[in-house]
């Protein structure tokens, strides 16, 4: 046997039949093809959404088909930040119509909440937007405040909004204000 010092230096070669490992991965990662780009349309602009909303709501108020209206709103794929403006449009479009149409608009908003399309916060923002527009709306619709009060009442009934205070709180607040209504009468 040859002494170890006389032997040539050993290289670390794998046994016969095995592939040598050179410190690199022997199986290169598979190159994945990028999925084909879907023809995703960008979300509609604010103006387009408001026009579509007007079309859907007018059609709904005329036909009364709530499912079709909800599907129409869903198909709009409106960004979340435009929902309050859409709901404002629904309220405003129904203000100068009959009480039955106002009721339909309220039920549509309630259905949109039940379907998860809109939230109570969206409705509250929409309602406040319409309240801000009251002075302009009063020119064309003199009873706009009464109609909006009806919307608020329907929203509470359908649990879109929740009462934060009760009747006792209101009575106590009125009594603390020390306003004597009888002295105000003529």
Please check the confidence at residue 75 and state whether its pLDDT lies above 80.
yes
Domains of the chain and any CATH numbers: 46-163 (1.25.40.180)
Q: Which pair of tokens denotes residue 66?
A: 């709530």
**With bands split at pLDDT 50, 70 and 90, how would you rate the model's confidence at 166?**
confident
**With bands split at pLDDT 50, 70 and 90, how would you rate the model's confidence at 129?**
very high
Residue 177's φ and ψ, nearest 5 degrees, are -75, -15
Query: What's the CA gap between 152 and 149, in Å, rounded?
Result: 5
Task: From 180, 76, 185, select the one nearest 90 (Cα to Cα).
Answer: 76
The pTM of the full predicted model, rounded to 2 decimals, is: 0.63
Task: From 84, 130, 132, select the one nearest 109 (Cα to Cα).
Answer: 84
Query: 16-30, 78-92, 115-129: lowest mean pLDDT where?
Result: 16-30
Q: What is the mean pLDDT of the chain?
A: 80
Please check the confidence at residue 57 and state whether its pLDDT lies above 60.
yes
């Amino acid at each position: 046997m040859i002494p170890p010092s006389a032997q040539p230096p050993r290289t670390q070669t794998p046994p016969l039949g095995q592939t040598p490992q050179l410190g690199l991965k022997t199986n290169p990662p598979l190159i994945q093809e990028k999925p084909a780009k879907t023809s995703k349309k960008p979300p509609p602009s604010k103006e387009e959404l408001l026009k579509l909303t007007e079309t859907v709501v007018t059609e709904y108020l005329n036909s009364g088909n709530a499912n079709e209206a909800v599907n129409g709103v869903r198909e709009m794929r409106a960004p979340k930040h435009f929902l309050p403006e859409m709901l404002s449009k629904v309220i405003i479009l129904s203000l100068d119509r009959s009480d039955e149409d106002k009721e339909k608009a309220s039920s549509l908003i309630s259905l949109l909440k039940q379907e998860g399309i809109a939230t109570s916060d969206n409705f509250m923002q929409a309602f406040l937007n319409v309240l801000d527009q009251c002075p302009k709306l009063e020119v064309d619709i003199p009873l706009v405040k009464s109609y909006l009060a009806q919307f608020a009442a329907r929203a509470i009934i359908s649990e879109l909004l929740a009462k934060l205070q009760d009747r006792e709180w209101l009575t106590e607040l009125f009594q603390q204000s020390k306003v004597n209504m009888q002295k105000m009468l003529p």
